[in-house]
Amino acid sequence: MEYSIEFRPAVLKILKRFPKRDLVRIKKAIEELVRNLPEPDTTKMKGNNSFHKIRTGDYRIIYEIHNDRVVILIVKVGHRKDVYKGL
């Protein structure tokens, strides 16, 4: 089963500011996420939340899996030093 991708509006706004080479790497990671969803137990973030994360270089992609709608919602993308603030 292949998931579709949805982005929060803030994520699309932030992605416009990324350097092109980093944006290409992030795009590849998201495409791979759709084709081959990693084991949710390994990507689940600690704490009482529904977020998962994947690493791509110095950046992290935070997402939620909505199995009922077959959607992966990209919640936040950012540098590893400050992507977790405000979650």
Q: How far apart are CA 64 and CA 76, in angstroms?
A: 10
| Residues pairing with 4 in the sheet | 71
How is the chain split among helix, strand and coil, in percent rounded to 5? Answer: 30, 30, 35
User: Residue 62: its pLDDT value, please?
Assistant: 96
Please give the CATH architecture assigned to the domain spanning 7-79.
2-Layer Sandwich (3.30)
Q: CA nearest 67: which of 87, 27, 40?
A: 40
- What are the pLDDT digits (tens) for 17-76? 999 999 999 999 999 998 888 888 888 999 899 999 999 999 999 999 998 999 999 999
* Residue 77 and residue 58 in contact, taking contact as beta carbons nearer than 8 Å: no
Note if the pTM is more than 0.85.
Answer: yes
Q: How far apart are CA 82 and CA 87, in angstroms?
A: 10
